[in-house]
Amino acid sequence: MNKIRLLLAEDQGMMRGALALLLGMEEDIEVVAQVAAGDAIVAAAVEHRPDVALLDIELPGMSGLDAAALLRERVPGCRVLILTTFGRPGYLRRAMEAGAAGFLVKDGPVEELAQAVRRVLAGETVVDPVLAAAALSAGPNPLTTRECEVLTASVDGATVADIAARLHLSESTVRNYLSSAIGKTGTRNRAEAVREARQRGWL
């Protein structure tokens, strides 16, 4: 029997080890690569040629969502299954746009996860049903790509001048984007806008 070759990306060592152990106990699954950072995913996939990549979203170096989009280009035969602690509707929408074949929240039983791996390899799309319903009711991300970039750049308390220099924009343009993002998120300032956008999975 040909085993399903699985790449596992998870930054928490204990969680990564537990998932690798539990999934490796399945007769038809072999964990061929484990990585702790998002920017190591594509290189590991190119080297090991997994059938399925099981990716966390919030990883150092690069998010699992960005890595999923790169995998679609570099290793198109690899199916992507997102597994996250954060069941945010915006994350689900972004995962699907990045080409992911599945999206599950970490609190489910490992048997369901193993079955999801099999199902995405068989060509199915597997999505946590509660999250799918929430994503439909939440609607699309109202923020433009530039508004998301400006909010992301302001996370570490950067000044308008810092953000403008980092993104090669004028300061007045940065202020306009911030003002627009604050309005769309229904918040009072950029710190609240960042928090709200993250909570909804838009950043």
145-199 domain in CATH 1.10.10.10?
yes
| pLDDT band with cut points at 50, 70 and 90 for residue 134 | low
| Cα–Cα distance for residue pair 80/69, rounded to 1 Å | 9
Q: How far is 89 from 121, CA to CA, in rounded Å? A: 24
* pLDDT per position as a tens digit, 60-71: 999 999 999 999
Nearest to 140 by CA among 83, 201, 189: 201
**Per-residue model confidence as pLDDT tens digits over 69-104:** 999 999 999 999 998 887 777 788 888 888 999 988
Q: Which residues pair with 4 in a beta bridge?
A: 29
- Where are the chain's structural domains? 4-138, 145-199
Are 194 and 153 contacting, i.e. CB atoms less than 8 angstroms apart? Answer: no
Least confidently predicted of 8-12, 42-46, 124-128:
124-128
Architecture of the domain spanning 4-138: 3-Layer(aba) Sandwich (3.40)
Domains 4-138 and 145-199 are alike in CATH topology: no
d(CA 92, CA 139): 11
Whether the pLDDT of residue 137 is over 60: the answer is: no
Mean confidence (pLDDT) of the chain:
88
Q: Which whole number is the average pLDDT over 175-197?
A: 87
Amino acid 165 reads A
